[in-house]
Amino acid sequence: MKGVVIANSTFNDRPASAFVKDGKLIDFLIGSKTTDEPIPGAIYRGVVGRIIKGLNGVFVDLGKTNKGYLKLSNGLTPGSTILVQVTTIALEGKAPTLTQKIIFKSKYVHITPGKSGINLSRKIKNEELRGQLRIMCEDIIGENPDFGLIIRSSCVEANESEIATDIKSMWALAHAVMQDDVGKSELLLDGASPEEYALREWSSNEPLIHLSGNEAFENSGIYEQIEALTQPYVKLGEDGSMYIEPTRAMIAVDVNSRAGASSAFKVNLKAAEILPKELRLRGLGGQIVIDFAPMAKNNRKKLETVLLKSLKEDPVESTLVGWTQMGHFEIQRKRERIQI
């Protein structure tokens, strides 16, 4: 299908959303297997539990047998009640990580209760528009708001009334949640579903086509591309391939070349270009260990440059760790998506 499509459907009996351009899968999100799973963005009223000495961390009871891990536990005492937000997906048998630096996200604004003031995205270049947006915000929340408010770049093409409505509703929601800090462990605000995330984060300069229902992925021509994400094999041109295989400890990536050293380097460059997208589409994060095809050591720097560039263009936070003594390359990647 030609054009830009947002398709909302299900995959393996789980809610899922896809961002498609001219029949090519650009982004993909899948929901959790259970409705009780803590997902990134969810805000809980939690009860402080066991403090982990030596790690400066603490486990927090989130209710319904769920627990999370909060770093930097200074000043917390067991049994006290705190508001926390989930930042990462937890592997089976492990706890998700939490933060007390809560952020409320919508299509047009971010609200930060721990900070104050009005800020605008640097991507909004038009000074006249910046001034208009700031005045509108001050009219709604005042010149010295108690919470921080960040105007997103999505406001550039948006209708002023839509932005104002979004600010008012999110401002009221943020205050209601942050004041609900007394009581037992409880989910106060769930994280975004795939469809909610798609509405909030996916946009295009071209007209958007929205599809929903059981046949949405097939009608947009991407069902086979989604199905391929469940398999480890990724083709890298005519001379190479890559296998992406999750384990409990790490994500193992094996890059293979069918030709000589010069061809192997080209295959490695191709792998470095597309790996962040492949990890994002699969919802994979944590420790990534890459076994590149054998190549000359003097090509490592160029390979790192290509990999760093592709990671910077990807929305999921990642850090290059470097080469191991065995010649593997390590990346640390935030677990902010659910694995397909």
Q: Are residues 70 and 83 in the same domain?
A: yes
**In-domain check, residue 269:** yes
**In-domain check, residue 316:** yes
Domain count, the chain: 4
CB 148 within 8 A of CB 191: no
Give the distance from CA 36 to its chain's centroid.
19
Token pair of 100, please?
């007390």
C-alpha to C-alpha distances, 180 to 105, 191, 228, 294, 336, nearest whole angstrom? 18, 17, 44, 56, 25
> What's the pLDDT at 20?
97
Q: Are residues 233 and 315 in the same domain?
A: yes
- Of 91, 97, 88, 83, nearest to 55 by C-alpha is 97
**In-domain check, residue 340:** no
| Region 133-142 average pLDDT | 95
Q: Are residues 328 and 238 in the same domain?
A: yes
CB 36 within 8 A of CB 66: yes
| Region 230-244 average pLDDT | 94
> What's the pLDDT at 91?
81
pLDDT digits (tens, 9 = 90+) for 254-296: 999 987 667 899 999 999 999 999 999 999 999 999 999 999 9
As a whole number of angstroms, the distance between CA 266 and CA 261 comes to 9
Packing angle of the helix pair 300-312, 261-282 (nearest 10 deg): 20
Q: Are residues 251 and 317 in the same domain?
A: yes
The domain that holds 67 is classified in CATH as 2.40.50.140
Q: Are residues 235 and 320 in the same domain?
A: yes
Q: Are residues 246 and 321 in the same domain?
A: yes
- Of 112, 179, 175, nearest to 149 by C-alpha is 112
Q: Are residues 244 and 312 in the same domain?
A: yes
Token pair of 134, please?
């700031």
The domain that holds 317 is classified in CATH as 3.40.630
> What's the pLDDT at 261?
65
CB 107 within 8 A of CB 101: no
| Region 109-127 average pLDDT | 94
**In-domain check, residue 184:** no
Q: How confident is the model at residue 92 (pLDDT cuts 50, 70, 90)?
A: confident
pLDDT digits (tens, 9 = 90+) for 217-229: 999 999 999 999 9
Cβ neighbour number for residue 323 with a 10 Å cutoff = 16
- Order of strands across the sheet that contains 148-151: 104-105, 109-112, 148-151, 117-120
Q: Are residues 88 and 23 in the same domain?
A: no
State the pTM of this model: 0.92
**In-domain check, residue 224:** no
Residue 233 has pLDDT above 70, yes or no: yes
**In-domain check, residue 92:** yes
DSSP, residue by residue, 158-170: S-HHHHHHHHHHH
**In-domain check, residue 36:** no
As a whole number of angstroms, the distance between CA 243 and CA 313 comes to 22
Q: Are residues 24 and 13 in the same domain?
A: yes
Q: Are residues 123 and 199 in the same domain?
A: no
As a whole number of angstroms, the distance between CA 241 and CA 227 comes to 18
Q: How confident is the model at residue 48 (pLDDT cuts 50, 70, 90)?
A: very high
Strands (E), the chain: 4-11, 14-21, 24-30, 43-52, 57-63, 66-71, 81-86, 97-99, 104-105, 109-112, 117-120, 148-151, 186-189, 208-212, 233-236, 240-246, 251-257, 286-291, 318-323, 329-333
pLDDT digits (tens, 9 = 90+) for 12-41: 999 999 999 999 999 999 999 888 889 999
For residue 242, give its domain range: 229-333
**In-domain check, residue 186:** no
Residue 131 has pLDDT above 90, yes or no: yes
Residue 101 has pLDDT above 70, yes or no: yes
Which of 151, 178, 205 terminates a domain? The answer is: 178
Q: What angle do CA 326, 329, 332 make, to 5 degrees?
A: 130
Q: Are residues 96 and 131 in the same domain?
A: no
- Of 113, 104, 200, 182, nearest to 148 by C-alpha is 113
Residue 140 has pLDDT above 80, yes or no: yes
Q: Are residues 233 and 213 in the same domain?
A: no
CB 336 within 8 A of CB 320: no
As a whole number of angstroms, the distance between CA 218 and CA 211 comes to 10
